[in-house]
Structure 1
Amino acid sequence: MKDLNFTLAVSNEEQRRYDNECLMDDVAEMKEFLQNIDDGFINTNQMMNTVIEELRLMRISLESGKGPVTKPKQIAQSDLTDPLIADDSDFRGSNKKIVRKSYKTTINVACIPFVLNEMDQEGYDRKDKQLVILSKLSECTNILKFYGLANLDGLNHLVVEWAQYGTLRETYEAYDIPWTRKLHIATDICRAITFLHSAEIYHHDLRCENVMLTDHLEPKLANFEYARGASGTTSSIGDLMRIVHWLAPEKMIDKNTRYTAKCEIFSFGMLLWELTFEVSPYQGWDMDKVQAHVLQGKREKITFGPAANERESDIQKCLEYVIREAWKQKPQCRISLLNLFNTLERLQTKYKNVVEQELGLLPQKTLDLDGTGTPIFSDADAEGEGMELPECENFTLDFEIDTMITLEEGINAHKNRDYEKAWKCFEYHALNGSACAKHWMGYYLWGGRSVEKNQEEAARLFKEAADKGIHDAQLRYAFTLQKSLGKKKERDEFIKYLTLAADGGNSTAQFNLGDAYTNGKLNIPKDEKKGLHYLKLSALQSHPNAVKLLGKMKVDFNNEEST
């Protein structure tokens, strides 16, 4: 891992003074904003402001070279084991030296070779401080988690969260990402940037290649090679060609110009364009051509293919708006991070309960992203031209035409109590990889509905669907563990999947988790604030038990001031 480079070359004082004025406005606005949002995206019980203040003090210590020497967590090699089930993707990177391991038997992590020069004590201490900052940044769930350093067979390794799908760029090159999933990804990346800015840190290199994607399709901002403190000195980026496609015009004019929040917003706008159309901006252009184009105020085209429904149309309009507002030529005219996040988050909230099959990844070329897509069959095929059958008296087709109903039709069959038809549909789509269908198969097997009861197989299917982000399956899988809650491993697993379901909007999970936190059940430390949070979310969805419990507690869940 390269230096985080929080401090580098000094910019001129006049530019610094202007930038600091802009910075103070942005930071003040962001801190006020962060005080008013839920602190649920922090993975500890610490308040967000405490984490931010710790980061600020760490950064000051790093920039000044003063303060106590801090060390990143050291992980014993015995805590890192080979995964139970090996996979071809367990070895990554150009030289296959990035390896997947299991940390404490349950957590998938990536072990990345990392060189520390112990002969350079000053540089050694500096890297230690940088890694401690990186560890603290991991408090945000949308930043790739850094667990610590491990010495594996004599070589130092960074131990970080495993991202099953690799980078966001690798993902869109292998799949099509549905519009609603794009919205969720965009909002969560913006959440991570918001967290960084609140701690007065800029990422400095925003593009899809620096966002990792977990098996739950959660984006994790990564690669802090060029990151630095907002009040630190500016950086002179060596490999400009690698990032110029996302670079703000003011940085193109003078690479020593101070990097500001407005530069970051421009780059995020380019990242959103890349995510939207699933291609690198200005693909194939050399650096001179990109610079000439951008400095003339020109940008990439924004032209969408046909929207399938009103939701997709809303998302396309939202993405176009924030992209255009983010990449304006004059920095002072660009949208603030606060307004950008609010715009994305409001639409994400509106469509938070979209069914799974509209959130999962799709085969490449499924979507006509920019209106240039062509149908699989030509118009001539549709008219039957060029498709004459051979002149054979007893000609027959040697394969069956698949006429299985869609998953949505299968769900409708279930609602109409045509269970046999529904089961056949779920079984077919599950065999073809649909996580939603696997959840439905598990539901039928668990209760023995139109099929022989098999709760062991049902639990397996629930977990597979749960691990693909199906919130109802997360709840059902958690409940399959109820008889084993006396064991710590099963209890931790139960709480993990119940929390995933609750955070995904499942009202039953929200009630049970809220009840557990409020009353200290399942050996969970009592946390009334967190408990009330989940109970209110459940009650707002009219869950009768949540409404009843809050009534007994004399809590008005409709009153925002009581939250």
Structure 2
Amino acid sequence: MDSLAERNKEFQKQSKQNKVLDSSDFKLLEANEPLLDGNDYQRTKICPSKRIEKRTLSSDDNIIQEFCFKEFSNNTTNSPSDESQIEIRRQVNILKELKNTNNIIRFFGVAQENSKFYLVTEWMELGNLHEYYTTNKDKMNWETKIRLALDICCGISYLNDCQILHHDIQSANILVDKNEKIKITNFGLSKKFHDLTRNISPNIENVRYMAPEKLLSVDNDTKKEKVPYDSKCETYRNRVNERYNLPFSDGIPDDWKNLVITAMLHEPACRPKISKICHKLHKLSKNYSKFSTLDDCTEDYDENLSSIDDNQSTMTSFFTITILTVEDAVRAHKSKNGNKQLAWQSFKYHSVIDIYAKYMVGYYYYHEEVPELQKISKDERVRIAVEIFKETADKGNPSAQLRYGICLWQGEGISANSFEALKYLKLSANQGNSAAMYVIGKAYLNGGNGIEQDRERGAKYLKEAALKNHLKAKEMCTKNNIVF
């Protein structure tokens, strides 16, 4: 994340200076971010708009991947197409590193087909959040709404940590995939990218979501940016001056109201930081995720919720506890007859702030132990699992360091790299993981795969693993006359 922020800073600096790429810079760009060939991707009949279409690509093992192609051309910006595509490729090369979170749209690159250029991202089957909410609002309870809000805040927090400011968070810029996972889109490091990715007109639509201080200074901004500013915008500006807030509808929980009110305070210094909002939403989700309505209950979720205030003794008639602590989820996971589905849901819930729970989410993706994960292709599951293993390994989890090291060693879900694999395996072994000690010992004892044979070092690791009662290490020590 730190390196990503540094690259972002350097990019912004060059953009402000209007630096022109020299030949060495261009060669580096071609090496790091080559243009994709649009002809390699199969067109489909799915085109949400004139400039957006769904395309597919078949891998060597006949796995079909889905992509979103968004066209940009000479009339997209004031700059020539070549200049635009070069700058956007430079940005995409940075944005592709936003992969340590599940709340940001995934970028694949810029594709060229004939004279046209396209931004290539992952395909989000269920459209934007506005469309999804409009279709499903009658089925949404407060647990779901709070989860969506928490996911969005986590995505914003991650972008902020990378020093990337979105400037236009609204439901049209939040996409929903086929697994009902939401991701933030339509952002960039410069105006060219932002203009390309935005879906809305820059007047009455986004003015609704502007912070008061942004709206009050919009006169100057519009002169600089030449953005349309009409009478409706002026109406919004006047209401902001009056510190007007839209009223809440009926049935809104007080905790939610309080959070919204503080987040929308007129003075910027009085608003909570995004990290604090995340923590408050997490706490709120914890309160609501303990409860779920019974399948045969015909009463509305909000009515059930209010009934708790009226009569605490009726709570068990309406709700059942559905979230375990991390410790109990581990026990359920390890138990022969444990409820794996409940453990999975609990690990997902706690993964926001608990590293081990996040690792276990990766473990479940890797091992396909619950029905909802069986709907995802193996390649995609393993890819997600490996990303989670790396994230949690870099945060110091020894089990994740072991798993990520093995994936690197075997080239599973990631390009094989035996030296990088040993690095992570040693990190795990240094924390006392006997399985990592065994794998390292075996690698050094036998050599190969780019690792020079070192029987003495191999024996040392195998002996340490055997002393920790690792069965295979003990067998290998006995077979190779290694005393332990």
TM value normalised by structure 2: 0.55
In the other structure, the counterpart of 1:91 is 46
Q: CA deviation at 1:503?
A: 9.9
CA distance in 2, matches of 1:306, 1:211: 23
CA distance in 1, matches of 2:187, 2:167: 8
Q: CA deviation at 1:124?
A: 3.7
Over 3 Å counting, the alpha-carbon distance change for 1:62 and 1:472 in structure 2 is closer
In the other structure, the counterpart of 2:110 is 149
- 1:301 and 2:188 aligned: no
Q: CA deviation at 1:159?
A: 1.3
Q: CA deviation at 1:295?
A: 2.4
Question: Which one of 248, 252, 259 corresponds to residue 322 of structure 1?
Answer: 259
CA distance in 2, matches of 1:306, 1:254: 32
Q: CA deviation at 1:332?
A: 2.3
In the other structure, the counterpart of 1:139 is 97
Post-superposition Cα deviations, 1:274-309, rounded to whole Å, max 9, x if no partner, equal xxxxxxxxxxx95455444332112122356377xx
CA distance in 1, matches of 2:466, 2:4: 31
CA distance in 1, matches of 2:49, 2:367: 40
SS at the partner of 1:190? helix
Q: CA deviation at 1:192?
A: 3.1
Over 3 Å counting, the alpha-carbon distance change for 1:209 and 1:491 in structure 2 is closer
Letter in 1 for 2:11: M
Question: Which one of 131, 135, 138 corresponds to residue 170 of structure 1?
Answer: 131
- 1:159 and 2:120 aligned: yes
CA distance in 1, matches of 2:467, 2:273: 40
Q: CA deviation at 1:65?
A: 1.0
- 1:202 and 2:165 aligned: yes
| Kept in 2: contact 1:474–1:500 (CA 8 A) | no
Post-superposition Cα deviations, 1:161-205, rounded to whole Å, max 9, x if no partner, equal 111111111111111344334334333323333343344442221
Q: CA deviation at 1:475?
A: 4.9
Over 3 Å counting, the alpha-carbon distance change for 1:62 and 1:173 in structure 2 is same
**1:348-387 equivalences in 2 (<5 Å):** none
CA distance in 2, matches of 1:516, 1:251: 47
Q: CA deviation at 1:143?
A: 2.6
Letter in 2 for 1:522: Q
Letter in 2 for 1:163: M
CA distance in 2, matches of 1:368, 1:222: 31
CA RMSD of aligned residues (A): 5.6
| Kept in 2: contact 1:148–1:160 (CA 8 A) | yes
In the other structure, the counterpart of 1:59 is 12
In the other structure, the counterpart of 1:340 is 277
- 1:496 and 2:449 aligned: no
Question: Which one of 352, 358, 368 corresponds to residue 477 of structure 1?
Answer: 368
SS at the partner of 2:265? coil
Q: CA deviation at 1:132?
A: 2.0
Question: Which one of 86, 92, 95 corresponds to residue 128 of structure 1?
Answer: 86
SS at the partner of 1:144? coil
Post-superposition Cα deviations, 1:434-493, rounded to whole Å, max 9, x if no partner, equal xx79x9xxxxxxxxxxxxxxxxxxxxxxxxxxxxxx98974543799xxxxxxxxx9856
**1:193-272 equivalences in 2 (<5 Å):** 193-224=156-187, 239-256=202-219
SS at the partner of 1:92? coil
In the other structure, the counterpart of 1:68 is 21
Q: CA deviation at 1:249?
A: 2.1
Post-superposition Cα deviations, 1:39-69, rounded to whole Å, max 9, x if no partner, equal xxxxxxxxx1111111111121122111526
CA distance in 2, matches of 1:533, 1:320: 46
**1:43-58 equivalences in 2 (<5 Å):** 48-58=1-11
Q: CA deviation at 1:95?
A: 3.8
Over 3 Å counting, the alpha-carbon distance change for 1:227 and 1:305 in structure 2 is farther
CA distance in 2, matches of 1:521, 1:77: 33
| Kept in 2: contact 1:502–1:513 (CA 8 A) | yes
Over 3 Å counting, the alpha-carbon distance change for 1:226 and 1:476 in structure 2 is closer
CA distance in 1, matches of 2:292, 2:386: 22
Q: CA deviation at 1:126?
A: 4.7
CA distance in 2, matches of 1:99, 1:75: 16
| Kept in 1: contact 2:389–2:401 (CA 8 A) | no
Over 3 Å counting, the alpha-carbon distance change for 1:293 and 1:192 in structure 2 is same
Q: CA deviation at 1:245?
A: 1.4
Over 3 Å counting, the alpha-carbon distance change for 1:554 and 1:185 in structure 2 is farther
| Kept in 2: contact 1:56–1:199 (CA 8 A) | no
Q: CA deviation at 1:514?
A: 4.5
| Kept in 1: contact 2:125–2:178 (CA 8 A) | yes
CA distance in 1, matches of 2:467, 2:94: 38
Over 3 Å counting, the alpha-carbon distance change for 1:287 and 1:344 in structure 2 is same
Over 3 Å counting, the alpha-carbon distance change for 1:501 and 1:248 in structure 2 is closer
Over 3 Å counting, the alpha-carbon distance change for 1:531 and 1:478 in structure 2 is farther
In the other structure, the counterpart of 1:517 is 404
Over 3 Å counting, the alpha-carbon distance change for 1:178 and 1:514 in structure 2 is farther
| Kept in 2: contact 1:91–1:98 (CA 8 A) | yes
TM value normalised by structure 1: 0.48
Query: Any stretches of 5+ residues in structure 1 without a counterpart?
Result: 1-47, 84-89, 230-236, 260-284, 308-315, 360-364, 373-405, 409-414, 416-435, 440-469, 481-489, 556-563
Letter in 2 for 1:300: L
Over 3 Å counting, the alpha-carbon distance change for 1:342 and 1:174 in structure 2 is same
Query: Any stretches of 5+ residues in structure 2 without a counterpart?
Result: 193-199, 223-230, 294-298, 307-319, 323-331, 333-340, 345-360, 372-376, 440-463, 469-484
Q: CA deviation at 1:327?
A: 1.0
Letter in 1 for 2:148: I
In the other structure, the counterpart of 1:80 is 41
CA distance in 1, matches of 2:87, 2:246: 40
Post-superposition Cα deviations, 1:127-184, rounded to whole Å, max 9, x if no partner, equal 5213421441242243322322223365332211111111111111111344334334
In the other structure, the counterpart of 1:448 is none
CA distance in 1, matches of 2:108, 2:167: 23
CA distance in 2, matches of 1:343, 1:121: 44
Over 3 Å counting, the alpha-carbon distance change for 1:358 and 1:513 in structure 2 is farther
| Kept in 2: contact 1:92–1:98 (CA 8 A) | yes
Q: CA deviation at 1:115?
A: 0.7
Percentage identity across paired residues of the two chains: 18
SS at the partner of 1:305? coil
- 1:109 and 2:67 aligned: yes
